[in-house]
Amino acid sequence: MRDSRVEIRIGGTGGQGLILCAKMLADALAAAGKHVAQSQTYEPTSRGGYCNSDLVISDGEVDFPLATALDWLVLLDRLAIRPSWPLLKPGALVIADTRLCPDLPEGDRRAHHLPLSRTAIELGSERVANIVALGALAALAEICERRALEQAVRADTPRSFLDLNLDALAAGYRLGEQAITAPSSTSAG
């Protein structure tokens, strides 16, 4: 069984920019020669409601493009816990927003509660919480080169938001790097 397969989910609610940040990560990975499949689940409402975007990353062609066993889970809303929790691989890493997703269920996983949305608010807009999360994920998962990710963020950001998004990415990296040195909670957070 060819398995360089890595699965990442960014879960939250509609309107948080989950699909966009997943796409940025996917672009960065694609630039590095990885095969990526990025899928999404959303509800018919344009805003609000459960939403996630999944990445399946592989050295070869991705056979089944949907999540089956998550290596990484980023939670930007508690709504995303229920559909995602059963998919976690044993020992998977979970990054949860301290404010929007304070409580996590029991399970065999490593969890980091990070102030993603609060950091975004401090940067000037809660709307960049997705980019902060992206930075934190990239730092913790060490899944792609930082330069490639910055390039992907640049490519997908309108000029007027570029500085904000790059700041958010850097802030996310900082949060992630701090978390590496800090112990992660291994039981219920």
Residues near another protein, by CB under 8 A? 1-2, 23, 26-27, 30-44, 62-66, 68
CB of 79 to another protein, least distance (A): 15
Q: How far is the CB of 185 from another protein (least distance, A)?
A: 29
Matching residue, tokens 């807009």: 125
Contact 119, 136 (CB under 8 A): no
31 vs 170, which CB is nearer to another protein? 31
Minimum separation from the CB atom of position 31 to another protein (A): 8
Helices (H), 99-145: 116-123, 129-141
The least distance separating another protein from the CB of residue 178, rounded to whole angstroms, comes to 28
Cβ pair 98, 129 in contact under 8 A: no
Choice between 64 and 183, CB closer to another protein = 64
Q: Which is nearer to another protein, 62 or 164 (CB)?
A: 62
Q: What is the CA radius of gyration of the chain?
A: 15
Nearer to another protein, 27 or 167 (CB): 27
Q: How far is the CB of 27 from another protein (least distance, A)?
A: 6
Distance separating alpha carbons of residues 151 and 91, to the nearest angstrom:
31
What 3-state DSSP class applies to 150? helix
Q: Identify which of residues 67 and 169 has a Cβ nearer to another protein in the complex.
A: 67
Q: Are 26 and 36 in contact (CB under 8 A)?
A: yes
